[in-house]
Amino acid sequence: MVLQDFESQLFSSRAELDVAFGPENLGLGKEEISRRVEQAFRAVGMKKLRYCAPETLSGGEKQHLAIASVLALSPEIFIFDEATTDLDPLGKNQVWSVIKQFQERKKTIILVESRA
């Protein structure tokens, strides 16, 4: 689940540690964790920010990082609660692109989105 308050999902000193946290807790091997982290960063277009401290990232980058941390878990069901709230148009398109990729893989996606 990607929360509307995405910053509450970030807690590590480096972005890659946030993304690796879930797979590590699943007990996966180092190679699999590395593969998933790489894949998640690539999916959200954040490869270059992998080693940054989350507190130095913009709001949109933090939101992408929260999404990457969920993607690394490779769940069957994705829940996005206002996943594009603080993003500029380019960032929103990137998130919708990621969501579309998972639709194509026949994953279940639950989107909570409100617009006036």
Would you state the pLDDT for residue 72? 94
| Inter-residue contact 36 to 72 (CB < 8 Å) | yes
Cα distance between residue 36 and residue 80, in whole Å: 19
DSSP 72-114: TT--SEEEEESTTTT--HHHHHHHHHHHHHHHHTT-EEEEE--
Q: What pLDDT score was predicted for residue 69?
A: 92
Position 23 scores a pLDDT of: 96
Q: Which residue has the higher pLDDT, 21 or 89?
A: 21
Could you give all domains of the chain from N- to C-terminal order, each with its CATH number? Answer: 6-112 (3.40.50.300)
Give pLDDT tens digits for 8-31. 778 889 999 999 999 999 999 999
Quick: pLDDT tens for 30-80: 999 999 999 999 988 888 889 999 999 887 788 889 889 999 998 889 898
Is the whole model's pTM more than 0.75, yes or no? yes
